[in-house]
Structure 1
């Protein structure tokens, strides 16, 4: 079976903590033909590459005790997650109908030995009857997960919850059935722990859905129908039926249904969903447009060039989803810790029970302390700390026009010391134009330009396109070139109408530059122009001065990078004078000019040899070797051609100001990850000893455990609230989600579940007072 270009993505159900991730990954990796397997706990997905069929992967996951299925449509997955959260809430509320009365009756017994109708036996049986459905229905998911993990000899969080609540329930049931009215019942512990943890899981699911909503938000931008011209008639068709070559009509206020090129008409297109830029742009004949953007004014006819999986929108969504599915080195290290966490907790709980009983003779207190240890330990927080922050960070970056390929990139960006930037198309607009044509004596300017443009015809180099455009604008007839020889960083040699034409740098020309032309050459370079010579049949025919305007955002971007403590270096193939003229305008002191692609690569290597972490910012074509060598390759894109393979990071708008924002966002994401990990480790390090010492009730332990997981996810979501501050800290304009179409479609995070929380808190307080836990 041939290896597919795209990884196989599976939806995974049943994972409850970070140890589950390792178990699923191990099961997938053992399938013959699998090259890599990466499981994302927060997204509940697995990405697999290799020569393997999907049925074998699903069977391997099921054998490990989990459910797997081919990944659903991204929008369907978001809807399924929402429905699952609502189903969890309905079950939770139904069980609260049993659990709340059970808690009240248990609390009445605890506070003053009160019993219904003064009958302790009847009272006990009623509480048992109320606690049993909660233990069975809410506890079932934990029993099932615990059984699966124990079969694999890899206990997880489910084992801790199942063991702790079962001990409390079985002990209390024995007290009731044996009618030992002198002993306390602990049904309130099993009920409250299951209610709290299930409520925490509901909040966690809702928060994880919010963290991963960026992909679904992207896809919601797609138009549903299109007005297509076929056989001279305008037909409404579903977008799924469009094919390349179709002509679609887009009226004011309509979304452009697919990627394409404008054939007729002019429109004003809002591309903020793609670039994060607030101002619309004018699009006319020949201009590219992207599906999902909005035509605000004018009627345009668009020829479809890409549909389905090849569209910009789908490729953006796929890249964001793949980044969210990858794991950083930090996450892999945490997973190794989590793999031994649960067995260690079980050993500590066992030692706690034995210690209290054997040393102090207080077996009952030892049992309660052991239950508290089992319940309070939270590997979930460890498992959620990194992936939720990565999901929010990469999703937010996509909304801001920055695509990050992997989670590891975020970690590497944080350690950058140097940013190397190309000049043409990075600091400048990338739309150079011929400003002067200086002919040699006995030559006409039009002939010089015509021959140079004929030689350059067909080249994709920005300077070559500028020469060809200048000739075409003047209506000069061009000849097809023959025997074209292009030398990177030097120039081009070709046969045009039987004559040998050379266009390029000084050293590439066949003869020395005469004094007067040399003076004009130096004069043009001194003002920042790029100058190329034109030689015909071995004799210099003239000079072409080409200028490219500096991007308005470049000075601000360079200043922001320097404020962040980064060294900014220009590396360009242009001549020294032009390079330094642009560098002076944008505020760069260190300039390396007249570099060939291989020399840019060598510059990056030299910086790395000094122990520096280097980012290279370029166009993804001429700078490909340096981009690949750099610790972080940042590819500039026009927003219509995502050079996904060119770099670790892709800037959709081709705006260097986004470089500083991407670095700031990566740093904020990594800070959030370390905050999450610090909280998760500190929580477990603090609460487990307190629980073992008998100073923490099992009921409070359950609430604390639920709060721990939810707090980690909530902290990750705070990244979204800081998006404006991050953008404005580097001088960028922040486009609110309501303007760039990443509209919030989520329901309130707490929803009806808040009612349960409000009711449970007083019971926890009063029960603690009655038992002297405070």
Structure 2
């Protein structure tokens, strides 16, 4: 379902999306919706005012086709702005419908005093424990508290490969709407009805809870202030123009500056382009993030992603492939390598980490060590712990064998253990550990009783292409910090190979939180990704906290973004999407403000080209001008009261640099272009300006050259072409 939708490469304007958006655009004419966008609301009020004037004229037995056309195109301006927002919303409706299909009304098997009871999934409350077996749909969001199972999450993530969910650890969270495909698990429900992950995701996709972001609010305020300034300027034009016409002795003053024409001037001068596209840009930004399988709890998080300048990245799985595997046994002087491998394998039987399992495999492959389970039955396992950083086994003494206390783990932990037992930590082992760390490997030391047997060399591989990506981030002014539990030497080697700017070695939850707070205290915006309960404090503190969908419920609730794919490298992509959102908004704002310049040269000459003319009134229809009159830049055949008072050219007529055919066509062309440019820019608003990793200075320069200069030139060409078209079709 969602997988097909996510990977759909069809164009923006599909038939289904257009049909839905058309009806939605009409519904958005409701005043409650219009008032949320002050700029477009002003256009709508102007259209309604013109409609009232048309009705008044019709009741008085007179009508103006020219005014009717202006009124119609004002409505089109509002409609196109609504349509842009509706298109952005419509692109997510298909995904929301697919998610609703995943949110079916199933029956939940609730455990009550050890017995199962079936109740509708919608009646589940936080704290209830439900049972799911192979073939069952998970009835609600929760955390596995018992058992292990394979879960099909394709309805949520779009990935067909099942994932493992088990109690304890960092992969215990399950989502309602997914399906169990093997084994049996018990789940504690963590979400109240109507507040599940699917409910939140559907609401976000459909815009039901989309709030304006801080930058969007600030830009809306700026656009509103600009609109008010233009409104006051246009209101002041009416008395000024009439006074000037009266002083110049020009007749028809009340006709030359009619209310519909002043409304047309106002609409063309206020930033309607960005006003009509602003909401669509924000919605599409969230949509791009969701198509990357990332759920943001708010647009604020997306904007913060575009503004961050510090990235905290976990080493394992993000910078490296995450498959640290045992590659070599390095025995201490006087110790046989077989003995080292034997002890290392025994110590790893209780270590369920990938590293521990790789030690068992390496010992089996290199030395054919088998049958460890039988031997281990006589010993006590010591499971690996992040606190002790050790794992091992205690084999009691028997008649045939002495007591064996075997430990394997971090060099510092083993060293402290050996010294506490009265043993000696060889200098050569220290040098081996440093050498492995310096080469970017991870050393594990093995000891038996008081004797250090040797070192296990674990290798991890830095992902290809990361150096280039980190270099691109550096160009944008973003500093990268690697987080790792390795010692400082290993961390430094990996950091140098990957090309990160800094690292945190032997990281603890407190160290991560402290580093984030320190960066924020210096005025930086910080992003981090994590999946475990120990990551929750840092995720909550970070400006952008990306939690893994496979992580614990605590981590998922702490972050303000959720990566459905549980891909640690997704953080870099999130930053790029946030940057693209901000760049797109800035580019279209630049274009919108720049393209208003051309409208001065279209409407102002049409309204006031006859002011301060060198000749007195000459009736309309006169073919030429009297001797000494200035040459007119407008054709003398005018109508609807536009400069009918004179066919002579005043000083302002020189502004008609586009050579527009008539005052009527000039005004109508500007109004039509003002409406059409909104719909023409919808694809750019939805797809976003193409993102490139560049510094802020280059981005601003390119913005000014492409969208600033383009915003100046495009309207001159567009208005001229429209003027030629409507003149040829005799619309004026």
Q: Name the TM-score class by shorter chain.
A: 0.5 to 0.7
Contact 2:306 2:579 in 1 (8 A): yes
Query: Which whole-Å CA distance do the structure 1 matches of 2:221 and 2:538 have between them?
Result: 35
Name 2:639's counterpart in structure 1.
none
Name 1:424's counterpart in structure 2.
316
State which of 657, 661, 667 in structure 1 corresponds to 2:573: 661
The answer as to 2:291 corresponding to 1:399 is yes
Instruction: Give 1:366 deviation, angstroms.
Output: 0.3
Instruction: Give 1:672 deviation, angstroms.
Output: 1.5
Distance of aligned partners of 1:473 and 1:165 in 2 relative to their CA distance in 1, 3 Å threshold: farther
Contact 1:503 1:533 in 2 (8 A): yes
Instruction: Give 1:574 deviation, angstroms.
Output: 0.8
Describe the superposition over 1:203-230 as per-residue Cα deviations: whole angstroms up to 9, x where unpaired: 3453243255376256245153669889
- Secondary structure of residue in 2 paired with 1:653: coil
The answer as to 2:84 corresponding to 1:170 is no
Contact 2:109 2:130 in 1 (8 A): no
Point out where structure 1 has 5 or more consecutive residues left out of the alignment: 1-78, 93-137, 177-182, 730-760
State which of 8, 23, 34 in structure 2 corresponds to 1:86: 23
Contact 2:329 2:457 in 1 (8 A): no
Q: Which structure would you say has the larger Rg?
A: 2
Query: Which whole-Å CA distance do the structure 1 matches of 2:484 and 2:208 have between them?
Result: 31
Contact 2:432 2:455 in 1 (8 A): no
How does 1:57-72 map onto structure 2 within 5 Å? Answer: none
Name 1:161's counterpart in structure 2.
47
The answer as to 2:279 corresponding to 1:387 is yes
- Secondary structure of residue in 1 paired with 2:465: helix
Query: Which whole-Å CA distance do the structure 2 matches of 1:446 and 1:310 have between them?
Result: 53
How does 1:112-511 map onto structure 2 within 5 Å? Answer: 156-176=42-62, 188-189=68-69, 192-193=72-73, 196-197=76-77, 199-200=79-80, 203-204=83-84, 206-210=86-90, 212-213=92-93, 216=96, 219-220=99-100, 222=102, 224=104, 240=122, 244-250=129-135, 269=152, 271=154, 274=157, 280-281=161-162, 292=177, 306=189, 312-314=197-199, 316-317=201-202, 325-360=210-245, 361=251, 362-367=253-258, 368-376=260-268, 381-428=273-320, 474=373, 476=376, 491=389, 505-506=411-412, 509=416, 511=419
Instruction: Give 1:391 deviation, angstroms.
Output: 1.4
State which of 518, 527, 530 in structure 1 corresponds to 2:442: 530
Describe the superposition over 1:379-408 as per-residue Cα deviations: whole angstroms up to 9, x where unpaired: 654444443222112222122123334434
Distance of aligned partners of 1:579 and 1:370 in 2 relative to their CA distance in 1, 3 Å threshold: same
Name 1:572's counterpart in structure 2.
484
Query: Which whole-Å CA distance do the structure 1 matches of 2:457 and 2:549 have between them?
Result: 22
Distance of aligned partners of 1:575 and 1:346 in 2 relative to their CA distance in 1, 3 Å threshold: closer
Describe the superposition over 1:625-644 as per-residue Cα deviations: whole angstroms up to 9, x where unpaired: 66566554444553786834
Query: Which whole-Å CA distance do the structure 1 matches of 2:165 and 2:212 have between them?
Result: 43
- Secondary structure of residue in 1 paired with 2:555: coil
Query: Which whole-Å CA distance do the structure 2 matches of 1:239 and 1:291 have between them?
Result: 9
Name 2:686's counterpart in structure 1.
717
Contact 2:548 2:564 in 1 (8 A): yes
TM-score when normalising by structure 2:
0.60
Distance of aligned partners of 1:639 and 1:213 in 2 relative to their CA distance in 1, 3 Å threshold: farther
Query: Which whole-Å CA distance do the structure 2 matches of 1:587 and 1:310 have between them?
Result: 42
Query: Which whole-Å CA distance do the structure 2 matches of 1:314 and 1:466 have between them?
Result: 41
Query: Which whole-Å CA distance do the structure 1 matches of 2:130 and 2:107 have between them?
Result: 14
Instruction: Give 1:363 deviation, angstroms.
Output: 1.3
Contact 1:249 1:300 in 2 (8 A): yes
How does 1:703-742 map onto structure 2 within 5 Å? Answer: 703-711=672-680, 713-719=682-688
- Secondary structure of residue in 1 paired with 2:464: helix
Query: Which whole-Å CA distance do the structure 1 matches of 2:482 and 2:509 have between them?
Result: 14
Name 2:471's counterpart in structure 1.
562
Contact 1:370 1:691 in 2 (8 A): no
